[in-house]
Structure 1
Amino acid sequence: MVNVYCLAFYFSLLSFLCQQSSTATHILTSSQPLIDGNTIVSQDGTFELGFFSPGDSSNRYVGIWYKKIPIQRVVWVANRNSPLNDSLGVLKIEEDGNLVLNRGKNAVWSSNASKSMEYPVAELLDSGNFVLRDVNDGNSTSYLWESFDYPSDTLLPGMKLGWNLKTGLNRYLSSWKNYDDPSIGYLTYGIINIHGYPDSSMRSVWKEYYRSGPWNGFGYSGQAKYEFLKADFVNNEEEVYYIYKLKDKSVVSIVRLNQTNSDGAIQRITWVEPSRSWVLGKSWPQDFCDTYSICGAYSTCNIDGAPVCNCLKGFKPRSPETWNKTDYSKGCVHATPLNCTKGDEFLKLARVKLADTTNTWVNKSMNLNECRIHCMKNCSCMAYTNYNISGGGSGCVIWSGDLVDIRQFNNTGEYLFIRMPASQKGHSGSKTRVVEIVIVTVVTLGMLLLGLGGCFIWNTKRKSKASKSELKEIVEDKDPIVENEQDQLQLPLFDLVSIKASTNNFSDVNKLGEGGFGIVFKGTLEDGQEIAVKRLSKKSTQGNNEFMNEVILIAKLQHRNLVRLLGCCIQGEEKMLIYEYMPNKSLDFFIFDNTRCAILDWQKRFHIIVGIARGLLYLHQDSRLRIIHRDLKASNVLLDTKLEPKISDFGMAKIFEGDQIEGSTSRVVGTYGYMSPEYAIDGHFSMKSDVYSFGVLVLEIISGRKNRGFYHPDHQLNLLGHAWRHWSEDKAIKLIDKSICECDSYNLHEVLRCIHVGLLCVQQRTEDRPIMSSVLLMLGSENAILHPQRPGFFMERSPLKGNELSSSDLTSYTSNEITVTMAEGR
């Protein structure tokens, strides 16, 4: 009987193998182990499983990657915390039915499945899921084990991110430590608050970095939807998870958790076949307001606002002193304390990302009115809203405790009803007479003060009107690029008297620097806030167009890596821009100084490079306007107290509207050494012009040398040519600033990759240069990247002749850094 049973099994197994393929390349059996050098491939050829070594590491791991994509993208790693140091590993199915990675007699990794099967096989599915199942049972609910239950840093289509409440299994992403090491890093991304209002969060052990907002029936309340995928969120008694599927199966798009990208990021990356590269679609957190609880409690963050953080109506800063210095972390408090016994009201907030859901209570059967009543009866209830906004809205969510991480949007978001103190009403009883006396007194004093106040207000408005009138005149006489924005301009106007007082009457002691615009002064307002005042020089080559250009652009741009414009001052011939003060001056103050350069170790420099890239990506892609900066250079990158980079000086910037991707001008502006060839010679500019400037800046940050005026005794090359020569000769390490090399902790692989990316950005042909989303992806990944072609402006040391300037002379630059404006024949 046993023999008959065994014979039946073997016939069944043989039939199964024949049905799959003659070579059985997508399965493992107990008699077919996988050795280093061999792979198995999913039936449709999409995924491959085998041994690999990441980056520059010689360690061996078992992983899964895309088979048909030439740039290897590993999506799952088995033994990520237990690498092999040689090629003697064997992946096999043991007698108990578990998958085990052995080296000799030692087990390095195991599936550790709790159940066992008599005739198990391991199969790599077309979805990228590696499953252990019975040979005769393809039911997914019967899998003994599956890789989708134990993600690495990548969320594939069809993979669940979240919890199995019956077993306690939590499926979450965990970052790689770095390009060469897939072991578990410090970042995780997963579903939280599963017993209240579930949310997704990127965090470490010690800090929360980003929160998507809860699922509202259509999507996460803090994220835009993707049209090319169908996402869903399941929340029932057995499971809580997020899942997505691609509408077009030919599209390759994944979610990846990347800790090597500055503070870390959740990235949506897509393979683009025509360019044969991974392209970054979105990255979260994507701007200042995406940073978790950046504005503290009871406040909203609006990336288009000025200031960015604002207390909710009826609330005030907990610490006015720190708030006025743009430190919003302490948040806000009720201006009038709540009094639950006398009834409260609710403030309706529209178009917001809902507050942190840590302290929430959910009832899916209530309607919104029932939810309000329930909240009103509960003195600990701070806010309420619908659980699901689809189908007209349903369910109830109630918040207790402080409300944090609320973001304001312009065209999307949800409603949130926030508890407020009851409106002040008249009092009765024994206090009536006192109230009457107070009212009479107040009215009398009010009438007296009204006249004085009216005079003051009239005088103030007269001055303000004059300033606004002058501002309007400038707007009406401006460059056409800003015509569509003038009606939307809302910017605080500072009066000249307060600016003079803040700068000690523009004292030389307060002078911070000087440029093509004029002089920049440090100022201190009456409330103690430090500011930087950029005063337009009457002799400046940059006139009203540049001034107005900067006012309109920066007033509408808000990003953690862009300098923040607080307001402007226009009175008579005086025209000034008021910025947040940057105590660490500009990037060139550090990297080009033999002493101060040591302050910026490699970790800080890499953080600065990534920050500048993020700022440019925002300008090119993520802001409401598509902006070409046209004058990106080291002196236009300011550093705050934490050495966070802030791109500044938008006087030369251009707005692209609609689908416009390039422009041209006969009035070339910018700085020698940073201008791209096509712009400097022919006046053509595009996003790729800024990419070129960024590449120059990257090479300057790494080398500590200026591109303009670069000198080397052995050749006539500029910094770009010098870097290219070293790269081509595999001697790129010679380009690195000595102050970086003297630090033991710097990551050589990371530095060399940045040089590689910098050279890709300064290539001669615009079509060869990457876009900024690809730049960020390359900086934050270990993927193979293309070999750079020869840079533009390769040679540079022929002196200019007199005042002549021709296209052939544009490879030579003066030693003084100035922003230039030149007319050029076309």
Structure 2
Amino acid sequence: MKWGKNLVTGLDRYISSWKSSDDPAPGDFAFRLDPRGYNQMLLMRGLTILFRTGIWNGFRWGGVPETISNTVYSEQFVSTASESYYRFDLLNSSVPSRLVISPSGIPQRLTWITQTNLWGSYSVVQIDQCDTYTLCGANGICSNSNEAVCSCLQSFVPRTPDSWNKKDWIGGCVRRTQLGCKNGDGFLQLTGVKLPDMSDSWVNTSMSLVECRNMCLSNCSCVAYANPDIRRGESDCYLWFDELKDTKKLPLGGQDLYIRMAASELATYEKQSSSKSKRRGIIIGTLISAVVLLVLGLILYMRRRKTRRQARSSSIRVDYFKDESNRKDDMDHNLLGHAWKLWNEGKALELMNITIDDSSSFSEILRYIQVGLLCVQQRPDDRPNMSTVVVMLSSEISLPQPKQPGFYTERNFPEPETSSSSIRSASKNDISFTTFEPRIFLLQLM
């Protein structure tokens, strides 16, 4: 059936709760298409909105997590000049499914279990604290990952700081700096969110995202824009005016919202973001360096240990420090220096445990050593970030030649010369990497 409204006749189809589990009289709750005319579902108690699903994004409701593997039904939302409705179609007609809302106001999907001849719960709308409608007030954003679930959107501040600090968020947030209208305003991209409520919004289904941005900039009252239909790419435009309400940060999925900011606010934010990125890069580089040093240390330790054990088993006394060149090497180089010296001499494989005799692994080991040396370069800008390291280790792309590492004890060590015995020469470090983020899918809520 069609769950929605006929815009010509006014017929409105929705589900409502029983008064109690054994009294089928109409209860207090209803789950219905937004009666204000927007493409979203609302859970209501009387005239009060309790929860909204978010805007239909072309595949599902934008504020509802994705399904892991839905083998029961397919779903779609239809919006025309004459009607707007949601519907689902069973993938297997022998597995009946229906939607209900409990007397306590919990929407859930039931499927028929033939073994027990009973209706069993297939999925339940798991409403959390951040799903409470407009919990954070105007221009606030809710996130269950934060100790204080409510915070102000970027460039906004609490309207009443004292109340906000007491976790009374209903007053919401106001702009710290007023917009300059057509005098250099810009937009901040907020990712992975349930888009704000559609009240005070405008929709155009044939406008590109660039056109949408320009349209928002041309209207001094426009505060944000987005492309809600991810199925159709950049072909839909939603504009928000006045205030942004009921925005939620989602742990997975979500959509992009472009929030309008004054030019001065945007410049400050970009500067802070750049500073944070540099600090994060330094921290990651330091951590990688520590890991690399530890790995190299273990390899060298195992190599020396194996050498001494073999010497003892053959009754030959081997004094590792007896040879003057070995003694000088250990005095002049720390562990990293020793690895760097062997790399330049084309003897990097001597860092490995000598019991490894699988020649097919040599190229892989050399690649690991090369990446390790790149992670401890003297200049932070020469060090790859963590996502780039993952790509380097999991692909066959050419790697840049490492330069002298940081924390190197010997002074004025010569730069490496080209040698046929060393690793093949690589192109300059102008490779761009694309990071593929793994996605975890949650149970469909509706």
**Counterpart check, 1:411 vs 2:252:** yes
Q: Distance in 2 between matches of 1:351 and 1:271?
A: 35
Q: 1:328, 1:282 → 2: CA distance? A: 31
Q: CA deviation at 1:205?
A: 2.9
Unaligned runs of 5+ in 2: 268-439, 441-446
Letter in 2 for 1:283: V
User: CA offsets, 1:600-652, max 9 Å, x none?
Assistant: xxxxxxxxxxxxxxxxxxxxxxxx9xxxxxxxxxxxxxxxxxxxxxxxxxxxx
3-state DSSP of counterpart to 2:32: strand
1:402-460: CA deviation from partner (whole Å, max 9, x where unpaired): 1111111122010111111222699xxxxxxxxxxxxxxxxxxxxxxxxxxxxxxxxxx
Cα pair 2:228 2:255 within 8 Å, conserved: no
1:297 aligns with 2:135: no
Residue correspondence of structure 1 range 90-129 to structure 2 within 5 A: none
Matched, 1:257 2:101: yes
Take 2:265 and 2:54, find their aligned partners in 1: how far apart are those partners? Answer: 34
Q: Which position in structure 1 is the counterpart of 2:129? A: 288
For each residue in 1:744-763, what CA deviation from the matched residue of structure 2 results, as whole angstroms up to 9, or x when unmatched?
xxxxxxxxxxxxxxxxxxxx
CA 1:362–1:294 in 2, change beyond 3 Å: closer, same or farther? same
* Correspondences of 1:617-656 after superposition (within 5 Å): none
Q: Is the 8 A contact 1:351 1:408 kept in 2?
A: yes
TM-score by length of 1: 0.31
- Structure 2 distance, partners of 1:280, 1:299, is 34
State the AA in 1 paired with 2:200: N
- In the alignment, does 2:4 pair up with 1:168? no
| Letter matched to residue 282 of structure 1 | S
RMSD, aligned α-carbons? 2.4
Corresponding residue for residue 271 of structure 1? 112
SS in structure 1 opposite 2:25? strand
Structure 2 residue corresponding to 1:210, chosen from 47, 51, 56? 51
Secondary structure, aligned partner of 2:260? strand
Q: Distance in 1 between matches of 2:249 and 2:144?
A: 8
Task: Provide the residue aligned with 2:87 in structure 1.
Answer: 243
Deviations 1:196-254 (A, max 9, x none): x4211011234110100011111100112442221000011111000011212222322
1:323 counterpart SS class: helix
Q: State whether residues 210 and 284 of structure 1, in contact with CA within 8 Å, keep that contact through their aligned partners in structure 2.
A: no
For 1:348, the aligned partner's letter is Q
Q: Note the 1:458-607 alignment, pairs <5 A.
A: none
Using a 3 Å threshold, how does the CA distance of structure 1 residues 292 and 425 change in structure 2: closer, same or farther?
closer
Partner of 2:39: 198
C-alpha distance in 2 between matches for 1:248 and 1:392: 31
CA distance in 1, matches of 2:122, 2:170: 30
1:663-709 deviation line (CA, Å, top 9, x unaligned): xxxxxxxxxxxxxxxxxxxxxxxxxxxxxxxxxxxxxxxxxxxxxxx
Contact 2:65 2:252 in 1 (8 A): no
Deviation at 1:183, TM superposition (A): 2.1
SS where residue 340 of structure 1 aligns?
coil
Structure 2 residue matching 1:268: 3-state secondary structure:
strand
Percent of matched pairs sharing the same residue: 41
Contact map agreement 1:338 1:421 (CA 8 A) in 2: yes
Normalised to the residue count of structure 2, the TM-score between the two structures is 0.56
The alignment covers a number of residue pairs equal to 266
Q: In structure 1, how many angstroms separate the alpha carbons of the residues matched to 2:76 and 2:212?
A: 25
2:239 pairs with 1:395: no
Do the aligned residues in 1 keep the contact of 2:188 with 2:266 (CA within 8 Å)?
no
Match of 1:335 in 2: 176
- The aligned counterpart of 1:471 is none
- Matched residue, 2:31: 189
Letter in 1 for 2:184: G
Q: Which residue of 1 aligns with 2:353?
A: none
Q: Deviation digits for residues 283-318 of structure 1, max 9, x if unmatched?
A: 335211111112222122122222222211111122
2:212 aligned residue = 371
- The residue correspondences of 1:780-795 to structure 2 (distance < 5 A) are none
Instruction: List alignment gaps of at least 5 residues for structure 1.
Output: 1-158, 427-623, 625-826
Alignment partners' CA distance in 2, 1:413 and 1:347: 16
Hey, what's the Cα distance between the residues in 2 that align with 1:362 and 1:238? 17
Answer yes or no: is the 8 Å Cα contact 2:55–2:62 preserved in 1: yes
Of 333, 350, 359, which residue of structure 1 is paired with 2:200?
359
Could you list the structure 1 runs, at least 4 aligned residues long, displaced by more than 4 angstroms after superposition: 274-277
Alignment of 1:664-743 (within 5 A): none
Tell me, yes or no, if the aligned pair for 1:265 and 1:284 is still in contact at 8 Å.
yes
CA distance in 2, matches of 1:410, 1:165: 36
Letter of the aligned partner of 1:172 in structure 2? Answer: Y
> 2:8 & 2:265 partners in 1: Cα distance?
51
Q: Is the 8 A contact 2:187 2:266 kept in 1?
A: no
Change over 3 Å in CA distance of 1:424–1:294 after alignment to 2: closer
Return the offset for 1:277. Answer: 4.4
- Whichever residue aligns with residue 181 of structure 1, its letter is D
**Matched-pair contact (CA < 8 Å) for 2:182–2:217:** no
Tell me, yes or no, if structure 1 residue 234 matches structure 2 residue 78.
Answer: yes
Contact 1:384 / 1:398 at 8 angstroms: preserved in 2? yes
| Residue 223 (structure 2) aligns with | 382
Q: CA deviation at 1:325?
A: 1.9
The AA in structure 2 aligned to 1:247 is L
1:345 aligned to 2:186?
yes
2: CA distance between counterparts of 1:372 and 1:425? 16
* Aligned mates of 2:265, 2:152 — CA distance in 1: 20
1:180/1:216 CA distance change after superposition, 3 Å: same
Match of 2:309 in 1: none
Shift of 1:344: 1.6
- 2: CA distance, partners of 1:365 / 1:347: 23
Quick one: which amino acid aligns to residue 237 of structure 1?
A
Q: Give the letter aligned to residue 23 of structure 2.
A: D
Which whole-Å CA distance do the structure 2 matches of 1:174 and 1:417 have between them?
36
Say whether the 8 Å CA contact 1:387–1:394 is kept in structure 2: no
Q: Of the two structures, which has the highest relative contact order with CA contacts closer than 8 Å and spacing of 6 or more?
A: 2
Q: Structure 1: which amino acid aligns with 2:31?
A: Y
Return the match for 2:149 from 304, 308, 320: 308
Contact 1:362 1:387 in 2 (8 A): no
Distance of 1:206 and 1:270 partners within structure 2: 30
Deviations 1:776-795 (A, max 9, x none): xxxxxxxxxxxxxxxxxxxx
Change (3 A) 1:314 1:247: same
Shift of 1:165: 1.4
Q: Write the deviation string for residues 705-741 of structure 1: whole angstroms up to 9, x where unpaired.
A: xxxxxxxxxxxxxxxxxxxxxxxxxxxxxxxxxxxxx
Maintained 8 Å contact 1:234/1:242: yes
The residue aligned with 1:114 is none
Q: Deviations over 1:562-617 (max 9, x none)?
A: xxxxxxxxxxxxxxxxxxxxxxxxxxxxxxxxxxxxxxxxxxxxxxxxxxxxxxxx
Deviations 1:143-185 (A, max 9, x none): xxxxxxxxxxxxxxxx111111121211122222222322222
Q: Secondary structure at the match of 2:264?
A: coil
CA separation of 1:425 and 1:418: change in aligned 2, threshold 3 A: closer
Inter-partner Cα distance in structure 2 for 1:207 and 1:160: 24
1:285–1:291 contact (8 Å) kept in structure 2: no
